[in-house]
Structure 1
Amino acid sequence: MLVTVLGAGAGGGLPQWNCACRNCESARAGLLPRMTQSSVAVSSNGVDWVVLNASPDIRDQIEHCQALRPPALRGSPIRGVVLTNADVDHVAGLLTLREKTPFAIHATAETLSVLAANTVFGVLDPALVDRRAITLGAAFSPVDGLTVTAFAVPGKVALYLEGAAPETKMIGEQTIALGISDGVSRLYYVPGCADIPDWLVEKLSDGDLLLFDGTVWADDEMAVTGTGGKTGGRMGHIAMSGDTGSLARLASLKDCRKVYVHINNTNPVLQPDGPERAEVSALGWTVAHDGLEFRL
């Protein structure tokens, strides 16, 4: 299995257009690598690819990934896009993929209903772009050689769908994770997750590679950095640090490579010489960057 991190950043990427925090300024100065928004490409043969979440940056991501460029005058090696939720940073890139090339969109019925309710997504010609509903727990094959099984993880609806008091740890079709296998190796992709119950730790225990939600280091990170008032939990993302954070909760996973993706621009783990990076490295985690590749 071939896995490429097209975009390692959370919504807004790095640098974020309206932010002058330490990380954003470091990226502008060339001291940190820039990150586009969350997306991953997977293939079993290097020819046929499925993209996990269509980032608003997908055009540039394709241009920077040789394997995803057009193989002929017109066309694409991208056979499908699998959506894990309806967040803007995961669906907006679909609008870029509108130029009359066939592929399939795979998403839960709930996420497909969000797309159907917004007529702008009608630019994706239904004669060429099939919309296929994912059934949780039922395996499907979005591309030759790969089998995907989706399952719900704690999370919330997309920001633009929130009511006055959104539930941030819902279990249902609004936030899913993906288990992907080529018959030999298994990848788990969990870019958004608000909590890690015991059953989820057990679920992930047979993975060879885990790409997991690394949005914030601390739950109060936005307030501490002066960049916003929401906690990580309020945004539907578990923190890395703390007794209930992902570092502690996933410490028992010893037999897979663990990689943080969907990293917010405020996260101090992006600083390569900082104590946070040293801690995650010591605990066996890798902090993703755009273009990071794996061969399983």
Structure 2
Amino acid sequence: MKFRAHILGAAAGGGLPQWNCGCKNCNLARAGKIPSQTQSSVAFSANGADWTLLNASPDIRVQLERSSALHPTGLRESPLKSVLLTNGDIDHIAGLLTLREQQPFVLFATSEIHKFLDDNPVFAALNPDVVRRQTVELGTPVEIAPGLTAELFAVPGKVPLYLEGETVQTDLEGEQTVGVHLQAAGQNVYYIPGCSTFRADLRARLQGAELVFFDGTLWQDDEMVRAGLSQKTGLRMGHMSMSGPEGSIAAFDGLDVRRKVYVHMNNTNPILRPDSDQRREAEVAGWTIAQDGMEIVL
């Protein structure tokens, strides 16, 4: 058995290019000068035949079509066994509505993330007689596909944008934003597409991992402000930046992780340009920059 990770979508919400964005990266992607990327989702398998999705992006139909391993194996038979959600963000749950076609699978999430779905009646389109919703407790391993287990743990983050109030806490630790520890055939893999702060307990948890997928939303905290696209910093959106003394490159320095992969890149992030100085800096630090269609086999 081999652990397989297939990156369906490498970009953050909006994708690359984002439909209404005229930033440098989006225009380069439209011109075919840098690769376009769909929104964040990764498929995992322990045997190459049965798969689980971590997050269901709005682009899921196209992503599944591009991935032959996830094509139907019969008239109405699919290798997709489950979907696991790491938060309730729109770019991680909207794709569930595409998966409403009376196809059996298990939907795994914390009780709080399930509540986000339960409170919105549109998600009743996922027929509960067909799609079983299973609540996962933090710290309790659960089999999400044959031979593949997942254990959820809290990482600092915030509630989804559509639930924000006047005051927003961006370093909440609870069930609203989770990381995933995946295990198969003795391999330890972590998937953390959203994280606002890298704390000591997270560093200790990741020590010795074979593979870590980590939040790569922005290169620098005020990136979108500098670009004239938003007044929100990365931290305000619940994401730590890559660069700087408080960034993830520095946080992972000296950490015993065999392979580090950035996922969930915002369309403004300069590392999406293969010839950028920032891309070279991240790669020199040992990082792989995810892109749609990339497969990693352990």
Q: TM-score, length-normalised on structure 1?
A: 0.99
Aligned to 2:291: 289
Aligned to 1:206: 208
Q: SS of the counterpart of 1:206?
A: coil
Match for residue 171 of structure 1 among 164, 170, 173: 173
In the alignment, does 2:85 pair up with 1:83?
yes
RMSD over aligned Cα atoms: 0.7
Contact 2:209 2:256 in 1 (8 A): no
Q: SS of the counterpart of 1:5?
A: strand
Deviations 1:82-135 (A, max 9, x none): 000000000000000001110010000000011001000001110010000010
- Provide the C-alpha distance between the structure 2 equivalents of 1:151 and 1:204, rounded to a whole number of angstroms: 12
Question: Residues 49-198 of structure 1: matches in 2 within 5 Å?
Answer: 49-198=51-200
Q: SS of the counterpart of 2:97?
A: helix
User: Where in structure 1 do 4 or more consecutive aligned residues deviate above 4 Å?
Assistant: none
- Provide the C-alpha distance between the structure 1 equivalents of 2:124 and 2:174, rounded to a whole number of angstroms: 26
Q: Return the offset for 1:269.
A: 1.0
Amino acid at match of 2:236: R
Percent identity between the two aligned chains: 52
Amino acid at match of 2:254: S
Unaligned runs of at least 5 residues, structure 2? none
Question: Residues 220-239 of structure 1: matches in 2 within 5 Å?
Answer: 220-239=222-241
Q: Return the offset for 1:76.
A: 1.1
Count of residues in correspondence between the two structures:
296
Q: SS of the counterpart of 2:224?
A: helix
Match for residue 275 of structure 2 among 273, 276, 294: 273
- Provide the C-alpha distance between the structure 2 equivalents of 1:91 and 1:76, rounded to a whole number of angstroms: 20
- Provide the C-alpha distance between the structure 2 equivalents of 1:272 and 1:112, rounded to a whole number of angstroms: 38
Deviations 1:39-66 (A, max 9, x none): 0000011111000000010000000000
Q: Return the offset for 1:295.
A: 0.5
- Provide the C-alpha distance between the structure 1 equivalents of 2:84 and 2:212, rounded to a whole number of angstroms: 17
Amino acid at match of 1:216: L
Amino acid at match of 1:22: K
- Provide the C-alpha distance between the structure 2 equivalents of 1:224 and 1:216, rounded to a whole number of angstroms: 12
Amino acid at match of 2:66: H
- Provide the C-alpha distance between the structure 1 equivalents of 2:153 and 2:278, rounded to a whole number of angstroms: 30
Q: SS of the counterpart of 2:207?
A: helix
- Provide the C-alpha distance between the structure 2 equivalents of 1:264 and 1:75, rounded to a whole number of angstroms: 34
Q: Return the offset for 1:77.
A: 0.7
Q: Return the offset for 1:292.
A: 0.7
